[in-house]
Structure 1
């Protein structure tokens, strides 16, 4: 018999709800969750329980039925990159220079999916632009982990040393809220009335009529805003004109949004903010500060705005960029999930997906209960990792068969190109098609 979700998932969900200002998990909701099979995401850490709690947090915040959650669909959604097809072909998930590399005294993890990060990695190691994985492996093997990471980081690349977990660091992180919600100030009555959900908002689309600006990239932030669009919000994603996105990456998480390119320093951005209800930020905190887009600056200029800030390492590390794979490596997760001294990985980019759903849950709750106050909600991939590391784990991973995803896929035509993606993890809802990245005008 497939095991039911552990008490750890229910405990985590109850605490998340308390941090969002909701009542603790009700007996009917708990009973409904206990009827569900486990999410098929096998790992030593409690990835399955964390995934269920994260998705259930949005389901409850939106007023949907938690008994309708399909654990297999949750697993497919968390592994969406495995099922993406563009014109019948699977785009590559990882670039050749993204991965684990053995150093002279351990391991490092690099992220080179974006061309500018791959160029910086090669430059740091004294390699030509055509150098491949074999050349990188040779250069890293001759360096200590700290030396290799230092060179790559100084050159503008992304790398971390693969480390074992540090319980003291994780305990300190867990002393802070998983979802840190701050109330800032009251807006005037005119803005309060204008920012209410539209009269046409339904029980299934509770965010209808609300406007959300999306300044995020990669997975976590786009999963959050994709979920808000699924719940009826008008989501407009904005990207810097000089920083192209990986097209397939956007197709995997761009459902239901419009997507435009706009310089963040332009007056048009603040004009959009004047009639926005929320903004989701996914860039480095220091970069946002330099652009005048820190959460504090935004709520001062735009009273009544709800601001969500997601970062890789937290606001204590404002200049540090990162991705799910790097946080797994440095936090100790990679060594827990590895074998025979070699690092491994979670069965999905679960820090990204869980962060996205948790942030979407907080925003859904805040937007549904508007009272005219500005609010800021923050979380980070590293804070989410600390939470995962606190949950019960196992030493024996039961490898379950790959989920039959055929009933859990969505099919679209995007500018004449057939696209297949994972279907929504939220029950009873259907994605609208993603748009081609950057193909819309920057306006509501």
Structure 2
């Protein structure tokens, strides 16, 4: 009698995702393996995480063709492909990085001007301070002291910590995609047969309240599948142009204060709302998932946060979660300096997994009615990755090459090149200029 076959890490993750989404009986292609591993070399199972996340979207959307591992790698490292009129933008601020402290390491973000300004203010440095001054200021402090100074000015910084296997094991006992259902009544029709397969989300209206990779990747994927996606940003918080162009494909983009009555009209028309801001901020604005589903029966809410609902006040990014969760030390290039995954893999994976969840819950809403909420966090994705098999050294069977895995568009007379979509048989629609649309349906 042969021993039972142990599923691959990617297959095991797909099985978990389908079970949590309540569609395990509808998905029977778990064992389909990529023709070769996704070329994202790291000690952790980044390639398996990426493959499973993209494959989950395909399975939920009924896409039978296998995604291309090379395309997935390019999409996950899209910032290396992006050009505007042939010029690659600077995607990392000089203030974003690892800084040695008196007793360890600190990780800071600085891509948004207000984060850079608060970092400098916390360290007692002027607005024009350079990298060397930041380095010297943090080196004089212990990690705790540096964090205290920066966060006192509402800046963002985290300690670079070793992994905590027991903490991550406890996290993995909780859902990766946490789904809840409220029986609020109502019924919804399936999309017209002519749209199924070609544009499986045609007619679905999505309100996008996200920024910084993970949420925008989710809504970009929904737009790719035919959904009408409107991204709404606060007028007072500008988005780096490159960041929007990298993930804005197929969406409209509007600027609007969510306290404006027009925003309530948008909510009334939405099938899906995707949230990516701090849970506490959303609560103060009356935009928590529970408030939204109470006020709008039948709504599907997909909520992403950096650290999870247990830390609703904390802001964060992929790079910060990698640093604090232990990933940066695992991926150290020399056993001393912190390292990183070969891509913002927590962001991209969270985005694709959340998109897969939205697709599954749209189907369940048609079958069962009611309102649905799904939540995940970058920290929860990190815990999943930390529980997957790892290697002693980064391994890849193939080099990272962009090849023909890019797409070119005209955006207001400028030539934009971005990574191509990962879903077989689908092509991106050009991004629109950030904030260039009216906030209406």
Alignment TM-score, normalising by the size of structure 2: 0.96
SS in 1 for 2:436: coil
Aligned equivalent of 1:357, options 321, 345, 352: 352
Q: CA deviation at 1:146?
A: 1.3
* 1:42-81 pair list within 5 angstroms: 42-65=41-64, 67-81=65-79
Q: CA deviation at 1:271?
A: 0.7
Say whether the 8 Å CA contact 1:201–1:209 is kept in structure 2: no
Q: What is the distance in 1 between the residues matched to 2:404 and 2:91? A: 22
Say whether the 8 Å CA contact 2:271–2:300 is kept in structure 1: yes
Tell me which residue corresponds to 2:425.
428
* 1:18-97 pair list within 5 angstroms: 18-23=19-24, 29-31=29-31, 33-34=32-33, 36-65=35-64, 67-97=65-95
Q: CA deviation at 1:406?
A: 2.6
Aligned equivalent of 1:346, options 338, 341, 348: 341
Q: What is the distance in 2 between the residues matched to 1:15 and 1:384? A: 13
Q: CA deviation at 1:153?
A: 1.5
Report runs of 4+ in structure 1 exceeding 4 Å deviation.
24-27
Tell me which residue corresponds to 1:246.
240
Q: CA deviation at 1:156?
A: 1.4
Tell me which residue corresponds to 1:7.
8
Structure 2 gap segments, 5+ residues each? 1-5
Tell me which residue corresponds to 2:3.
none
Q: CA deviation at 1:278?
A: 0.5
Q: What is the distance in 2 between the residues matched to 1:72 and 1:6? A: 23
* 1:106-255 pair list within 5 angstroms: 106-188=104-186, 192-193=187-188, 196-198=190-192, 200-255=194-249
Q: CA deviation at 1:256?
A: 0.3
Q: CA deviation at 1:35?
A: 5.1
RMSD over aligned Cα atoms: 1.5
Aligned equivalent of 1:381, options 368, 378, 381: 378
Q: What is the distance in 2 between the residues matched to 1:71 and 1:289? A: 39
Q: What is the distance in 1 between the residues matched to 2:289 and 2:433? A: 29
Say whether the 8 Å CA contact 2:34–2:66 is kept in structure 1: no
Q: CA deviation at 1:202?
A: 2.1
* 1:281-296 pair list within 5 angstroms: 281-296=275-290
Q: Is residue 2:390 matched to residue 1:393?
A: yes
Aligned equivalent of 2:102, options 71, 91, 104: 104
Larger mean Cα displacement after TM superposition, 404-413 or 283-292: 404-413
Q: What is the distance in 1 between the residues matched to 2:35 and 2:7? A: 11
Q: CA deviation at 1:24?
A: 5.8
SS in 2 for 1:352: helix
Q: What is the distance in 2 between the residues matched to 1:6 and 1:246? A: 41
Which string of whole-angstrom CA distances, capped at 9 and with x for unpartnered residues, describes residues 321-358 of structure 1?
00000000000000000022110000000000000000
Structure 1 gap segments, 5+ residues each? none
Which string of whole-angstrom CA distances, capped at 9 and with x for unpartnered residues, describes residues 24-44 of structure 1?
6866x244x225210000000
SS in 1 for 2:404: helix
Tell me which residue corresponds to 1:332.
326
Tell me which residue corresponds to 1:263.
257
Q: CA deviation at 1:270?
A: 1.1
Tell me which residue corresponds to 2:363.
368
Which string of whole-angstrom CA distances, capped at 9 and with x for unpartnered residues, describes residues 152-186 of structure 1?
11211111000000012111211110000000122
Tell me which residue corresponds to 2:438.
441
Q: What is the distance in 1 between the residues matched to 2:34 and 2:297? A: 43
Q: What is the distance in 1 between the residues matched to 2:339 and 2:320? A: 12
SS in 2 for 1:260: strand
Say whether the 8 Å CA contact 1:207–1:367 is kept in structure 2: no
CA pair 332-35 structure 1, distance change in 2 beyond 3 A: closer
Q: What is the distance in 1 between the residues matched to 2:338 and 2:400? A: 25
Which string of whole-angstrom CA distances, capped at 9 and with x for unpartnered residues, describes residues 41-73 of structure 1?
0000000000000000000000001x4210000
CA pair 132-198 structure 1, distance change in 2 beyond 3 A: farther
Q: What is the distance in 1 between the residues matched to 2:7 and 2:39? A: 13
Q: What is the distance in 2 between the residues matched to 1:268 and 1:356? A: 27
CA pair 203-140 structure 1, distance change in 2 beyond 3 A: same
Q: CA deviation at 1:403?
A: 2.7
Q: What is the distance in 2 between the residues matched to 1:126 and 1:26? A: 56
Q: CA deviation at 1:187?
A: 2.8
Q: What is the distance in 2 between the residues matched to 1:340 and 1:284? A: 34
